[in-house]
Amino acid sequence: MSAVCLRTEQLRKHYGGLRAVDGVDLEVREGERRAVIGPNGAGKTTLFHLLSGEVPASGGRILLFGRDVTRLPSFRRAALGVGRTYQVTNLFPRLSVLENTLLATLGLRREKYDPFSPLAKHREPMEDARRLLEEFGLWEKRDWPIGSLSYGEQRQLEIILALAGRPRLLLLDEPTAGLSPAETQAVTQLIRGLDSRITVLLIEHDMDVAFQVAQRITVLHFGRVLAEGTVEEVRANPEVQAIYLGSGEL
Amino acid sequence: MRPRGLWWVGVGVVALALPQVLPLYFTHLVLLTMIYGLSAMSLDVLAGYTGLTSFGHATYFGTAAYTVGILTTQHHLPPALAAAAGVGAAVLLAAAYGLLATRAVGVYFLIITLALGMGTWGLAYRWSSVTGGDNGLPGIPPLDLGLPWSMAEPRNLYYLVLAVFCVAAFLLYRLVHSPFGLTLRGIRESEGRMRMLGYNTWLHRYVAFVVAGGFAGVAGVLYAFYNRFVSPPDLHLAASAEAVLMVILGGAGTLFGPLAGAGIVVFLRNLVSAYTQRWMLILGVVFVLTVLYAPQGVAGGARALWARWRGHAPAPRPQAEPRKEPVAEP
Amino acid sequence: MQFWLTQLLNGLSFAALLFLLASGLTLIFGLMRIVNIAHGSYYLLGAYVALSVVQATGSFVAAALAGSLTVAAVGVVMQRGFLARFYRAEQAQVLLTMGFSFIFADLALWIWGGDPHRLPTPRAVAGSVDLGITFFPAYRLTVIAVGGLVAVFLWLLQERTRLGAVVRAAVDDQEMARGLGIHVEPVLTGMFAVGAALAGFGGVMGGPFLGVYPGVDSEVLPLAFAVVIIGGLGSLKGALVGSVLVGILDNLGKALFPELSYFTLFVPMAIVLAIRPTGLFGRG
């Protein structure tokens, strides 16, 4: 049995009276592919914000590789190996494709503090950036401003940024949102092809993608875990079927 | 980059020949342009590159100038030592104020730097026993560095200022093109994303603040030895606002744009003041017109044209809006 | 004892002025996220207009009305003519107000000249009041009372009236408010005018004891900002608490270490920033 990558204990987030995340217990093993699904407003993205450290928790604990990171700011969690993508594309608008990628490859290196030598002199982050961009076929467009890329390419860049730091835990927030069927297939293949040592947590509205990629599924509803199990178990769960009734998703 | 190099050589030749060829009047103006230009360029690192618009930049300029003034006129320290102390004072003040100012970003940051700046002005204005109060500190000696040419002579001081300016500008140029410089732009574009990529963004903002203050201090020292007189208006809100105008007029985030902006303001002020007392009114009007019709500034507009000419699909440029949430993530 | 009471009352009268300024500033920011650098010049203009009116008519009340209304009108022109088109572009708005502050300050210098002036104290409250322990200028007590009344009035307006609810709705969700038939633009312009009028009124009230002179705008503006930072941007309660704090400290400072007094006013601001950057009552 592989080690536990991520565990949350009674994780809570309150906004005044609103309980966005209301006592979530989660345990994800290293190398697991876990999908988090649920209706809009179930607290999925808020959960990701709590896991990444971008939003402080109101209560409960978060353990990463056995270590309590509940109070740790996001940049320290990144150093521990957390990477994430965003539901709404969160790139650096006025920078070029290459500059976006370089920021990602420099993020965990001491070289980021160099105030004097030109960027081009920094071979390793440059090579890493080149490799990533070539893998995704974006190297030719490296000097383009982000705004000139298609939406699908921007979503690809989102994933590049998350992968650049060689994360051990990858949080993907609706990676296929707004993509064409072909692009969605490409992303699905990509996720399936990721190194098996990386733990992947995936928020998805597209059930096909979720069922293709995930080994286990956690269903959130009103900030709580409604059901959890393998794909078949969750599909067969009557409560889960009820909340999706009418949408024909399952 | 052949045409680029030729351009710089040309500029260099003009800069070196200028005092010999043009009337003294121009030498004074170009000298002032370099001094204020350096201040504006350092503000650009903070405002244009990091997205932190400070309305207190003159504070560090003025503090350095006052330090030189106090040490030379009241304690009779040698000019070189006073100069070093001036820069040191600016760095220390920026380090202290920076701890407070970087608790926030966006408009909140703006207000804090404004308040701290005017608080310091109040010190210069009321602490008469040390700063000379409203009368300021006249009689600052020339910057005597033991060179064979007298620095009391503007033409000679010009070359010294030119040398210092070139070194400082070179350092700033390297800074903005370095990895650290890229991180500043990343913070400007999306601080949250940067933190998720592993950057301690507060630290980067703080360093940028102190560096900007330090270079403003260098400019302030040069100013003290050029003007030979320092007074409270030198660190008033109006002076800080002029620095912001220079950055915007020249083009925020272009580094040398603000130098051009400084030139425009210096020349304009000189021209206007020869005919009317209403310079502040004109300054205000220029401010408003620039925001309304030329927010990218001279260099920013030129850059956009250049990119379009080179064939990049013209990306719709978002308005220069740094951040919405006023307070930074703790 | 006499000393402390005098200091306290002096401080409170200054606090009342600061509150008039800061409440307008925080109102405008809380509603429209506009940081109005021209707010200090509103104070200046209010005082100068009042000066001219009182010199012409002898009536302080007329002067106060004229000062407040003129500044309100200026505010309307500024907001509708220039700021409104930069909706949500905060930095552009700040820069615009900065430019206008220079224009107003220099116009005032041009029209009224460079000499410092003092507004005449209204005859009705020109004397001193016997407070038992000491005598204290009646006018300053009036200023404190007026400040308090304005505070209560604003609070009632914000919390208890339909207007307050409408304004809050317009601010929270403009789209929704429009959908409900609320005309958003006049509401915003109206509130901006109220904020401006408060600043102008502050200038008038301060005229008799602070005086009016070129530069008073850039002296009071940072203090108003310090108050707002201490209290929290957008909080009326914060503006009140901050004003009292800064007002009393200002007087103490002037009495104890006059040369450093202006600078020391920013110490509480620094402390609040260090401990709670969003201000004592600010929304975190």
Q: pLDDT tens-digit profile of B117-163?
A: 999 999 999 999 999 999 999 999 999 888 888 888 889 999 999 99
In the prediction, which pLDDT does A246 show? 47
pLDDT tops 80 at residue C167? no
In the prediction, which pLDDT does A1 show? 59
Give the residue with greater pLDDT, A235 vs C98. Answer: C98
- The secondary structure of residue B131, as a DSSP letter, is H
Confidence of residue A31 (pLDDT cuts 50, 70, 90): very high
Residue A4, class by beta-carbon neighbours within 10 Å (0-12 exposed, 13-18 middle, 19+ buried)? middle
- Residue of chain A whose alpha carbon sits nearest to that of B315: A147
Asked if residue B248 lies in contact with residue C95, where contact means CB atoms within 8 angstroms, the answer is: yes
Mean pLDDT of B215-235: 97
Give the residue with greater pLDDT, A241 vs A145. Answer: A145
Average pLDDT, chain B: 90
- Maximum alpha-carbon separation in chain C: 60
Confidence of residue A24 (pLDDT cuts 50, 70, 90): very high
Q: pLDDT tens-digit profile of A169-202?
A: 999 999 998 899 999 999 999 999 999 999 999 9
In the prediction, which pLDDT does C34 show? 86
Give the residue with greater pLDDT, C5 vs B52. Answer: B52
- The secondary structure of residue A121, as a DSSP letter, is G
In the prediction, which pLDDT does B9 show? 86
Q: Which of B174, B182, B211 sits opposite A99 (nearest CB)?
A: B182
Q: pLDDT tens-digit profile of B24-56?
A: 999 999 999 999 999 999 999 999 999 999 999
Partners of B138 in the beta sheet? B229
Q: From CA B153, how far away is CA B173, in angstroms rounded?
A: 30
* Touch of B by A (3+ CB pairs closer than 8 Å): yes
The pair of three-digit structure tokens given for residue B29, joined into one six-digit string? 């103006």
Q: From CA C265, how far away is CA B122, in angstroms rounded?
A: 10
Confidence of residue A213 (pLDDT cuts 50, 70, 90): very high
C222 reaches B (C-beta below 8 A): yes
pLDDT tops 70 at residue A248? no
The answer to whether A103 contacts B198, with C-beta atoms less than 8 Å apart, is no
pLDDT tops 80 at residue B303? no
Q: Three-class SS of residue A220? A: strand
Task: Give DSSP secondary structure letters for C21-53.
Answer: HHHHHHHHHHHH----TTHHHHHHHHHHHHHHH
Q: From CA C214, how far away is CA B315, in angstroms rounded?
A: 46
pLDDT tops 90 at residue C31? no
C87 reaches B (C-beta below 8 A): no
The answer to whether B118 contacts C270, with C-beta atoms less than 8 Å apart, is no
The answer to whether C82 contacts B118, with C-beta atoms less than 8 Å apart, is no
Give the gap in angstroms from C-alpha A128 to the nearest C-alpha of chain B: 15
Asked if residue C191 lies in contact with residue C28, where contact means CB atoms within 8 angstroms, the answer is: yes
Q: From CA B149, how far away is CA B161, in angstroms rounded?
A: 13
CATH code, domain with B110:
1.10.3470
Domain boundaries, chain C: 13-213
b/e A200-232 (16+ beta carbons within 10 angstroms → b): bbbbbbbbebbbbbbebbbbbbebbbbbbeebe
The answer to whether B107 contacts C103, with C-beta atoms less than 8 Å apart, is no
Q: From CA A206, how far away is CA A173, in angstroms rounded?
A: 12
What range does the domain containing B217 cover?
A: 30-309
Would B319 be classed as within a structural domain? no
In the prediction, which pLDDT does B317 show? 42
A122 reaches B (C-beta below 8 A): yes
Q: Which of A83, A93, A161 sits opposite B189 (nearest CB)?
A: A93
In the prediction, which pLDDT does B64 show? 98
In the prediction, which pLDDT does B329 show? 41
In the prediction, which pLDDT does C284 show? 43
Give the residue with greater pLDDT, B10 vs A249. Answer: B10
Mean pLDDT of C263-284: 82
When divided into structural domains, chain B yields a total of 1
Would B37 be classed as within a structural domain? yes
Give the CA distances from residue B326 to residues B31, B103, C173, C235, in Å, rounded to whole numbers and listed in that order: 38, 9, 19, 15
Partners of C137 in the beta sheet? C128
- Residue of chain B whose alpha carbon sits nearest to that of C89: B321
Residue B177, class by beta-carbon neighbours within 10 Å (0-12 exposed, 13-18 middle, 19+ buried)? middle
Torsion of CA A138, A141, A145, A147, to 10 degrees: -60
Would B84 be classed as within a structural domain? yes
User: CB-hemisphere CA count at 13 Å for B138?
Assistant: 2
**With contacts defined as CB-CB under 8 Å, which chain B residues touch C227?**
none
Mean pLDDT of A98-104: 96
pLDDT tops 70 at residue C171? no
B53 reaches C (C-beta below 8 A): yes
In the prediction, which pLDDT does B312 show? 56
In the prediction, which pLDDT does C2 show? 79
pLDDT tops 70 at residue B326? no
Radius of gyration of chain C (CA): 19
**With contacts defined as CB-CB under 8 Å, which chain C residues touch B293?**
none
pTM listed for this prediction: 0.92
Q: pLDDT tens-digit profile of C196-244?
A: 999 999 999 999 989 999 999 999 999 999 999 999 888 889 999 999 9
The answer to whether C106 contacts B284, with C-beta atoms less than 8 Å apart, is yes
In the prediction, which pLDDT does B325 show? 46
Q: Three-class SS of residue A168? A: coil
A117 reaches B (C-beta below 8 A): yes
pLDDT tops 70 at residue B321? no
- The secondary structure of residue A2, as a DSSP letter, is P
Q: Three-class SS of residue B177? A: coil
**With contacts defined as CB-CB under 8 Å, which chain B residues touch A108?**
197-198
Mean pLDDT of C148-169: 81
Q: pLDDT tens-digit profile of A59-79?
A: 999 999 989 999 999 999 999
Report the 10 Å Cβ neighbour count for C24. 30
Q: From CA B13, how far away is CA B4, in angstroms rounded?
A: 15
In the prediction, which pLDDT does B105 show? 87
Average pLDDT, chain C: 88
Mean pLDDT of A113-133: 94
CATH level 3 topology of A1-81+167-250:
Rossmann fold (3.40.50)
pLDDT tops 70 at residue B320? no
Q: Where in chain A is the domain with CATH 3.40.50.300?
A: 1-81+167-250
* DSSP β-ladder status, A82-84 and A67-68: unpaired
Q: Which of A92, A122, A143 to mutate against chain B (most B CBs within 10 Å)?
A: A92
Q: From CA C48, how far away is CA C29, in angstroms rounded?
A: 25
* Touch of C by B (3+ CB pairs closer than 8 Å): yes
- Residue of chain A whose alpha carbon sits nearest to that of B211: A115
Confidence of residue C252 (pLDDT cuts 50, 70, 90): confident
Q: pLDDT tens-digit profile of C95-104?
A: 999 999 999 9
Question: What percentage of chain C has pLDDT greater than the value 70?
Answer: 96
Partners of C135 in the beta sheet? C130
Look up the ipTM and state it.
0.92
| C90: enclosing H helix or E strand | helix C90-112
Q: pLDDT tens-digit profile of B238-264?
A: 999 999 999 999 999 999 999 999 999
Q: Among A177-181, A245-249, C58-62, which is the least confidently predicted range? A: A245-249
Confidence of residue B327 (pLDDT cuts 50, 70, 90): very low
Q: At what angle do helices C60-78 and C39-57 cross, to 10 degrees?
A: 140
Mean pLDDT of B56-67: 97
Asked if residue C15 lies in contact with residue C23, where contact means CB atoms within 8 angstroms, the answer is: no
Could you tell me how many helices (H) and strands (E) chain A has, helices first? 9, 10
Q: From CA A250, how far away is CA B168, in angstroms rounded?
A: 65
Would B314 be classed as within a structural domain? no
